[in-house]
A and B are shown apart, each in its own frame.
Chain A
Amino acid sequence: MVITEHLTKRYGSFPALSDCNLHVRSGEVFGLLGPNGAGKSTLLRLLMGLLAPTSGRASIDGLDCHRDRVRVHRLVGYVPGDARLFRTMRGRQVLRFFSTIRDDGDYQRALHIAQRLDLDLDRWVMLMSTGMRQKLALAACLASEQPLWILDEPTANLDPSVRAVVLEMIGEARRAGRTVIFSSHVLSEVEEVCDRVAILRAGQLVHQQVLAELKEQHRILITRNGALPPLPQTMETGTTWQELDAHRVQIDTPQPLTNLLAWLAAAPIADVQIQPLGLRAVYDRFHGESTSMQAVP
């Protein structure tokens, strides 16, 4: 559905996005993670044809995102990170405008979404809070039957109950066969709705993670009494080992735990904690304070 090939955007000498290769499959909910300035919004704006790539290309359903942007926009419902709407209109007028501007616009559906998001449509946009404007943008842009949703931090500024409704809508979109690309800073909600995530750092795509695979991985936190023996060979593939301090070691592994239990029993250990490896652990590998991760010794 969405393909980027060596997609690069530079502002002068500053690389906002470098050599990004991505393939989002149809029907997938795809998360984009990274701190501010990592290049998430630049990537989404390149997909929307709002920016011209410096090099490389992006396509949606075989259409070039920049050259064929009008045809691309027929396939996409896009909610920007900071949704600004026409200040001199009321909420209802905004919904009517967006349902008229598209051939496939559906005013009744937009009203229904607004009702679900508990939005007062009689209020002037200029008198709406940031969260209300965000809800209005969601209702305005997601009312049509587009096969792809691109949502740039759609839950930012929303209260927890509305946030849950938005995540529910993303789930419904997945069940309806839509593709969703979704950027967020809230790891828990990405973990909740996404099938796959990409992590960006300083304009580079540094990691892609299938979340189902993540659920099979574990983190083992060991407080040792003495030197630990080397891990068994069966555990080595994909396992990382990190010395937290003189006594504590953290091991992240995708291997079945049965291979590890015998090793743990023989090791000089004062304490051990085993937990499923969450998205936080993967994210911290690239953006955490300590990134002194190393392969198994």
Chain B
Amino acid sequence: MNRALIGKSIYEGLVLFIPCTLGLFAFAWFRVWVVSLIDSLRFKQIIDLLPKEFERFSPIEFEWLTSFTGRTALTLEEPMLIVLFSAWAVVRGSDVVSGELNRGTMEMLLAQPVSRRQVYWTPLVTTLCGLVALCLIIWTAMHLAVETSVVRQTRYPELRIPIWGQTIPLTFMSPISESSPMRAVVSSWSYWPGVVNLLALGVFLLGLTACVSAIDRYRWRTLGIVFGVYFVSGVLKLGAMSSPLLGWLQYLTFFSLYDSQVHIKLAEDGAGHYWSFWIAGDSAWAGLGPWGHNGLLLLGGAVMLYLGSIIFERRDLPAPM
């Protein structure tokens, strides 16, 4: 890679990277902190009021969502976080070819003794590093929030029966409220599977955008196409979840492969399912495993990145408009 090209892509990327970093850090930290403010018992009472049909909009049972781990894991499913994270991949990916062509700077760049491969891959590698950095920032924000927050838990007094070794909650009595550090009830390490899944989604989006960018000559059109695919995929996922009749829609959207809560839950269960590409049997998790999801996203992203490279290598360079 060329030193000047690396410097240029970092310099141009910083304008977006800094706000993305600040936004994602603040959001992830705030979201986990808000969880610490609401008592799990109270949250469970709210969830219990929801009709059972609503559960199909969640990839995971409501019971787990009422735990502190489940509720904090929802941070990685928040549309605001996903959109902001995706924006980095899509905006930087679109700049690789059609961005430079649109601004007319590609001609000057390619008139220098650098290969098209270098011009294509240098900003993409920088963007990939940015994706990894943003994932680390999200995890760090969640970790710091867990480390610094205090949770209040309400529970009923319990009666311990000495010989049986069992405890019985005395629900007829007034509940007891106790404060404890959040780290005592949640391990921030449990978020890693979700964060890795988010990174895989970012790689896929970067590949998709870079490939469209390599074909196109207008950046606005590249962004339009990619965001169009993005939102249609989002709608397809919602459609697939809304009714068993529309379940087949899940095969048409890459968002089916983004399931950070399930990944966190499976890793937490520790049954070895987390590392599976495919989960056999007829359990609730049967089908593509977490590493099947990640693998498909990473493979799709890599294939599209490579395809974009081939297209850019062979295409004519139109004169600046």
Instruction: Show the binding face of A for B, using Cβ within 8 Å.
Output: 41, 45, 48, 50-52, 70-71, 73-74, 76, 78, 80-89, 97-98, 100-103, 137, 140-141
Contacts and interface: CB of A to CB of B under 8 A. Distances in A.
B104 A137 contact: no
B107 A84 contact: yes
A220 B255 CA distance: 80
Given A73-B114, A86-B8, A86-B105, 16 more contacts: A50-B317, A52-B314, A73-B112, A76-B111, A80-B111, A80-B320, A82-B320, A84-B104, A84-B108, A86-B12, A97-B8, A98-B112, A100-B3, A101-B113, A103-B113, A140-B108
Given A45-B319, A85-B105, A101 B5 contact: yes
Interface string B307-321: 000000010110110
Shortest beta-carbon contacts, A-B, top 6: A84-B104, A100-B4, A101-B4, A78-B111, A50-B317, A73-B113
Nearest to B5: A101
Given A50-B107, A70-B115, A78-B111, A88 B12 contact: yes
Nearest to B115: A70
Contacts of B2: 101
Given A45-B317, A51-B316, A74-B113, A97 B107 contact: no
Interface in B1-55: 2-5, 7-8, 11-12, 15
A166 to B, nearest CB: 17
17 contacts: A41-B319, A50-B107, A52-B316, A70-B114, A70-B115, A73-B111, A74-B113, A80-B107, A80-B320, A81-B319, A82-B319, A84-B107, A84-B320, A88-B15, A97-B8, A100-B3, A141-B108
B108 A85 contact: yes
Interface in B108-128: 108, 110-115
Contact of B4 (A48, A76, A97): A97
Nearest to B112: A101
Contact of A84 (B3, B4, B103): B103
Interface in B191-236: none
A171 to B, nearest CB: 23
Interface in B294-318: 314, 316-317
Contacts of B8: 86, 97
A88 B113 CA distance: 23
B19 to A, nearest CB: 15
A30 B143 CA distance: 67
B146 to A, nearest CB: 38
A102 B107 contact: no
Contacts of A41: 319
Interface residues of B, number: 25
Contacts of A84: 103-105, 107-108, 320
Given A48-B111, A80-B111, A88-B15, A100 B7 contact: yes
A41 B113 CA distance: 20
Contacts of A101: 2, 4-5, 112-114
B317 A51 contact: yes
A45 B2 CA distance: 23
Contacts of B317: 45, 50-51
A88 B10 CA distance: 12
B31 to A, nearest CB: 33
B108 A102 contact: no
Nearest to B317: A50
Contact of B108 (A51, A52, A83): A83
Given A88-B15, A97-B8, A100-B7, A50 B105 contact: no
A89 B107 CA distance: 17
Contacts of B5: 101
Contacts of B113: 70-71, 73-74, 101-103
B312 to A, nearest CB: 12
Contacts of B3: 100
A16 B296 CA distance: 44
Contacts of A137: 108
Contacts of A73: 111-114
Contacts of A102: 112-113
A283 B94 CA distance: 44
A97 B12 CA distance: 13
Contact of A50 (B11, B12, B110): B110
Contacts of B111: 48, 50, 73, 76, 78, 80, 141
A80 B314 CA distance: 21
Nearest to A81: B319
A48 B112 CA distance: 10
A71 B112 CA distance: 10
B112 A50 contact: no
Contacts of B105: 84-86
B108 A82 contact: no
Contacts of A52: 314, 316
Contacts of B314: 52
Nearest to B110: A50
A66 B319 CA distance: 16
Nearest to A87: B103
